[in-house]
Amino acid sequence: MATEVEAVGGRTRAVRDWAAARLDEVVDDLAVLVDTETPSTDPVLLAAGAAVLTGWVLETWTGSTATTLGEGPGAVLQVDAPGSRDGTLVLLGHLDTVFDAGTVEARPFAVTDGVARGPGVFDMKAGLVQGVYAVAALDALRMPRPSVRLLVNADEEVGSLGSRSLLVDAAAGADAVLVLEPGGVAGTVKTARKGVGLWTVTATGIAAHAGLDPEAGASAVHALAALTGHLVGLADPAAGTTVNVGVLTGGTRPNVVADHARMEIDVRARTEAEAERVTAALRAWGPVDPRVRLDVAGGWNRPPWSAPAPDLVSRAEAVLASLGVAVDPREVGGASDGNILAAAGLPVLDGLGASGGGAHAEHEHVVVADLPVRIALLAGLIAGD
């Protein structure tokens, strides 16, 4: 490790210093992206945000080319920056945020006491800025690098249903995928993510008077209440499996046997075996009252990713060590599009975006002083040997 640290140290520190000297410019570009609202559910704003991002990347990456894969909400922006060495690395990110239109008006981008705030700043517009600056730094400092392909979708926060096949096809054959999702602290990298299963269960029963004729009814609410207990019992914290019934609604009045009910379920699993176990147990369950009909819709939105790429992890460790930062590898419960590309057989390292916290919340923030370090980390991973 000492030899590897020495080999990358000078170049990595040069990138960090280059980025630190341009920190005001980095923050200004971040401000533009954050104040350009891109809610997942607003195709007009997403298209406008994609245009802003595309124009900026093409201006920053000399000689790059851009294309749009697909159309509509599942479209993917692809920007290619040819390299001076063999090979191709993918930088993976998303443009959409969970915040509704108008949020920026109430909470515009701002920096206070070294902390940048604003909707989507941490998840994950700062990651996009860091990825673009990492390539720009390598080129400005005339450091050899492979070709880089930036892939940015606009439906990640709603499951990447339209973009997943486009991402897999566009990343095919890449040497590695570096995911620009947020990190946490300066040394964070994410080496595994749980899979996410999402289901909706609708129960249809028979309405009846709860006092005069209860036996004539078949309660959909009672059926889903029993199913809730069954599902909660499927959780296995020791194996990393969690089950959450986040929505449960049904019925009309307390004196009416409910003829309809609906539930929404979120399952997280570390392994394919656990994912299959929970799926089978959900599908096999039936209500005690056979007159209640269940309709189960959904499945695994993103597969578990539990096979880290050791070469990428050791490279990140060496790059960070050369900057005086200890690597902080983490396994997390939240999934990303990195899960999809890992399942396609590509080496993936995730969580390479900003230091900060508060994803999806009003207190979402980024530590400005860490931006040059994170840019240098990405540059070191891109440059490789």
Tens of pLDDT, residue by residue over 223-240, are: 999 999 999 999 999 999
Please state, in angstroms and as integers, the Cα–Cα distance from residue 357 to each residue in 113, 130, 185, 239, 352, following that order: 15, 16, 9, 26, 13
Look at strands 88-94 and 147-153 and give their pairing: parallel
Domains, the chain, in order of start with CATH, read: 2-193+304-383 (3.40.630.10), 195-302 (3.30.70.360)
234 in Cβ contact with 278 (< 8 Å)? yes
179 in Cβ contact with 377 (< 8 Å)? no
pTM of the model: 0.92
Please state, in angstroms and as integers, the Cα–Cα distance from residue 90 to each residue in 77, 164, 223, 283, following that order: 12, 15, 47, 37
Specify the residue for token string 């890992």. Answer: 342
125 phi and psi angles, rounded to 5 deg = -70, -30
176 in Cβ contact with 118 (< 8 Å)? no
Question: Which segments in the chain show pLDDT lower than 50?
Answer: none
**What number of H helices and E strands is found in the chain?**
11, 18
Dihedral (CA of 235, 237, 242, 248) sign? positive
